[in-house]
């Protein structure tokens, strides 16, 4: 019904008293995100390898440091969300995808620091299922905006362990395996460059 949309989680973690401030900032910015701070948020971030990996991957995708890409407290305009609605999931990674897309499209995004409180009740996050959803989101966004980064990521996944194996190899089998991984990584990146170049010329 209205032009401005506010969303927040209903688990007591987000300071809803910050909403008027975020709404006021939305007059200037296309997306205003309540960027979580405080010991409750940092504890979850530091103790969870999946959360830390997710944060690093999202910043790799955008090329910018984003402290909290999936915060559930945010304000945005209906006119900005409708054109990208078909690219947004309806479940867990909606907020993440929105942050990535609007950042990569160089929209004006404001990250407003907010206090993050202890959760009331149990979390509905399912680590394996939601990790797969986020992984799918990251791949789709990279393919749409910068496919070369996806090939670079796949290449690094093979080159880094392969290089480590070569440096620490104590047997011929480990050396061969390391060489195969490094060569495969280089080949994947080369194929990615060729694919991107071909599509640009096409």
Check whether 174 has a pLDDT greater than 70.
yes
* Residue 188 confidence (pLDDT): 87
Residue 202 confidence class, pLDDT cut points 50, 70, 90:
low
* Residue 53 confidence (pLDDT): 79
* Residue 201 confidence (pLDDT): 60
Cβ neighbours of 47 (radius 10 Å): 9
- The closest of 7, 55, 4 to 30, measured between CA atoms, is 4
Distance CA 90, CA 84 (A): 12
> Is 113 within 8 Å of 38 (Cβ atoms)?
no
* Residue 67 confidence (pLDDT): 87
Q: Supply the angle between the helices 49-62 and 147-168 in degrees, to the nearest 10.
A: 130
Pair type for strands 109-115 and 31-37 = parallel
Residue 93 confidence class, pLDDT cut points 50, 70, 90:
confident
């Amino acid at each position: 019904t209205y032009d401005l949309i506010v969303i927040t989680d209903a688990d007591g973690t987000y300071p809803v008293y910050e909403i008027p401030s975020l709404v006021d900032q939305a007059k200037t910015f296309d997306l205003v995100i309540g960027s979580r701070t405080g010991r409750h948020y940092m504890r979850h971030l530091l103790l969870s390898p999946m959360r830390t990996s997710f944060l690093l991957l999202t910043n790799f995708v955008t090329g910018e440091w984003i402290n909290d890409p999936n915060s559930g407290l945010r304000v945005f305009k209906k006119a900005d969300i409708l054109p990208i609605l078909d690219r947004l999931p309806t479940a867990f990674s909606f907020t993440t995808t929105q942050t990535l897309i609007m950042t990569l499209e160089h929209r004006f995004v404001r990250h407003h620091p907010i206090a993050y409180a202890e959760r009331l009740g149990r979390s509905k996050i399912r680590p394996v299922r939601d990790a797969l959803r986020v992984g799918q989101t990251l791949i789709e966004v990279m393919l749409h905006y910068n496919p070369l980064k996806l090939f670079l990521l796949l290449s690094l996944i093979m080159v880094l362990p392969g290089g480590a194996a070569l440096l620490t190899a104590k047997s011929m089998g480990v050396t061969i395996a390391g060489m195969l991984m490094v060569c495969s990584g280089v080949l994947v990146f080369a194929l990615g460059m060729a694919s991107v170049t071909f599509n640009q010329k096409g």
